[in-house]
Amino acid sequence: MAKEIDFLELKSYIKALHCPIRWDIIDLLKDGPKSSEEIFNLLVINEGINKERINRKCNGNCKNKNKNDIKKPTLYYHLRELEAVGIIKIKTLKASEYKRAPEKVWKLNIEKLIINLKF
């Protein structure tokens, strides 16, 4: 799905995309839906998919964090920020082990973002 935004909407997308971790989440979801746990494991345990960005710092609310330091609450924050502007969405809920709350499975909601600078 392509989404066209105008100049006034651009600020919310810049806020959502300011952090390198969020770009890595988008990269992970390009290959298909993944659960929050799968995303976490790929970012932390396997050092994500872009090793050259592994040590880049986030200048937002996750200040002084890199992917090696990321905790699950921080990951959920990033997922919610991407969801808030519609870049990703929940595809389904996956039954969790140990009788916990269902786990969210995320997918990309936008394949192309078009910025219309004339408004």
* Structural domains counted in the chain: 1
Secondary structure class of 108 (helix, strand, coil): strand
d(CA 66, CA 54): 7
d(CA 32, CA 75): 18
**Domain containing 87 — which CATH number?**
1.10.10.10
- pLDDT tens for the 119 residues of the chain, in order: 888 888 888 999 999 999 999 999 999 999 999 999 999 999 886 554 444 444 454 555 554 445 456 889 999 999 999 999 999 999 999 887 777 888 999 999 998 989 888 76
CA dihedral (69, 72, 73, 79) in degrees, to 10, reads 100
pLDDT value at residue 15: 92
In terms of residue numbers, what domain contains 51?
2-116
